[in-house]
Amino acid sequence: MAKSDLIGGSLWEQYSKKVADRMNNPRHFGELTEEDARRMNGKLVIANEGAESCGDTVRLYWIVGNDDEVIKAAAFKSFGCGTAIASTDMMAEMCIGKTVDEATKITNLDVEHALRDTEDTAAVPPQKMHCSVMASEVIKRAAAIYRNVDIATLEEKDIVCECARVTLQTVEDAIRVNDLTTVEQITGYTKAGAFCKSCIRPGGHEKRKYYLVDILARVRAEMAHEKNPNLAQIDDFSTMSVVKKIRALEQVLDAQIRPVLARDGGGVELEDLHCDDEGACIVAVRYKGACKGCAGSVAGTLGFIQQTLQDKLSTSIEVKVA
Q: What is the pLDDT of residues 234-292, one digit of tens each?
A: 557 888 888 888 988 998 898 888 888 887 788 899 999 999 877 789 999 999 888 77
Q: Which residues pair with 75 in a beta bridge?
A: 61
Any residues with CB less than 8 A from the CB of 118 and at least 6 apart, and which? none
Catalytically annotated residue among 95, 131, 291, 294: 131
Residues 164, 266, single domain; the answer is: no
Residues 114, 118, 119, 123, CA torsion sign: negative
- Residue 291 catalytic? no
Instruction: Reply yes or no on whether 81 is catalytic.
Output: no
Q: What is the Cα–Cα distance from 304 to 116, expressed in whole angstroms?
A: 34
pLDDT of residue 99: 96
Does 90 lie in the same domain as 120? yes
CA atoms within 13 A on the CB side of 94: 25
| Between 212 and 277, residue with greater pLDDT | 212
pLDDT at 33: 97
Instruction: Kindly write down the DSSP assignment for every residue of 54-89, as one continuous string.
Output: T--EEEEEEEEETTT-BEEEEEEEEES-HHHHHHHH
- How do residues 89-135 score in pLDDT, each as one tens digit? 999 999 999 999 999 988 887 898 899 999 888 888 876 777 777 88
Helix/strand/coil for 45: strand
Do 263 and 168 lie in one domain? The reply is no
Last residue of a domain, one of 230, 245, 261: 230
Number of domains forming the structure of the chain: 3
Would you list the DSSP string of 117-155? SSTTS-SS-GGGTHHHHHHHHHHHHHHHHHHTS-GGGTS
Cα torsion angle, 263, 266, 271, 277, sign: negative
Catalytic residue among 54, 81, 163, 196: 54
Q: Which CATH number do you get for residue 264?
A: 3.30.300.130
Q: How far apart are the first and last CA of the chain?
A: 63
What is the extent of the structural domain holding 208?
A: 156-230
List Cα–Cα distances, 182 to 168, 213, 261, in angstroms: 16, 8, 10
Q: What Å distances lie between residue 280 and 8, 180, 190, 242, CA to CA?
A: 60, 35, 41, 13
Shared domain check, 185 and 80? no
